[in-house]
Amino acid sequence: MKALVRAERPTDRGAIDVVHLASFPTPAEATLVAKLRATGDLSISLVAELDKSIVGHVAFGGGRGLIGVLPAYRHQGIAAGLLEAGIETCRAAGVELPPAFVEPPTERTRQRREPLAMILALGPKGELGQSGRVPWDVREDRAFFATTTRGHAVIMGRRTWEERRSPLPGRTNFVVSTSIGPLEGAESFSTLSAAIAAARARGAMPFVIGGARLYEEGLGEATRVYLTEIGEPAPEADVFFHLDRSRLVEVASWFGASGERYRILEPLTR
């Protein structure tokens, strides 16, 4: 199947970040793309989409060009397709082509820290859940969550799994529990570290998707946090998570149509 190359949308920003995190040995390139966007210097930004998953990205801006493709989708002509479309778009828009191009190493070099992502939405008081569900229904945030995690491995606690009782489509589903039996469409692990190791062994980016205990435990190892701050309080909330923002550095932030704020955060290394 040929990848569809199209312009980025706001809900693609997390998935683009993940492409570069998975492509390069350090988060520097992912952060560069976010910074270029924030300063208005990201002249051209195109994604490669395959079966609704963002699998590649090309960026031109600030006198540079940068290309990333998820490791599982290399050697399929996706980088070449992105590059061709990127050059054409630059020419049509009168954007000067950069003298140098940043490309990921052909063979993945050893990571300083293996990537581990966390994605969550929090209310103003740390509200996380209500009666076994997410307290709000923000359409753009649902799209952001789906686009960011699609094609990767999602790791959730038993109660979060029980909320749906069916796997999230297009993702490898892992459930962490000491009590749950065999599952249809998901695998269970008795510890978070076993689930993370299983995701990595399959070449998938592990995403911790909740609830509170998994976030608490995962934060120590996380290399990226995708946080949606919902302004509307949820007075009936019964699950809370205190995210210690003093341990996190902001890479990017923007607002959604309903006033919610999306933030890409990088935990400080100890």
Ligand X SMILES: NC(=O)c1ccc[n+]([C@@H]2O[C@H](COP(=O)([O-])OP(=O)(O)OC[C@H]3O[C@@H](n4cnc5c(N)ncnc54)[C@H](OP(=O)(O)O)[C@@H]3O)[C@@H](O)[C@H]2O)c1
Binding site for ligand X (CB under 6 A): 120-121, 128-130, 132-134, 156-160, 163, 176-180, 190-192, 209-214, 217, 239
Whether 86 contacts 40, CB under 8 Å: no
Residues 110, 26: Cα–Cα separation, whole Å: 9
Burial tier of 142 (Cβ tally within 10 Å: 0-12, 13-18, 19+): middle
Token digits for 155? 């790791």
Residues 106, 39: Cα–Cα separation, whole Å: 30
> Which residues are within 8 A (CB) of 126 and not within 5 positions of it... i.e. 6 or more apart?
240, 241, 242, 243
The CB-of-33 to ligand X minimum distance in angstroms stands at 24
Helices (H), the chain: 13-23, 28-38, 78-93, 139-149, 158-164, 192-201, 212-219
Closer residue to ligand X (CB): 43 or 130: 130
Closer residue to ligand X (CB): 35 or 158: 158
For 86, phi and psi rounded to 5 degrees?
-65, -45
The CB-of-242 to ligand X minimum distance in angstroms stands at 12
Whether 231 contacts 260, CB under 8 Å: yes
The CB-of-138 to ligand X minimum distance in angstroms stands at 10
Closer residue to ligand X (CB): 53 or 160: 160
Closer residue to ligand X (CB): 96 or 238: 238
Closer residue to ligand X (CB): 70 or 121: 121
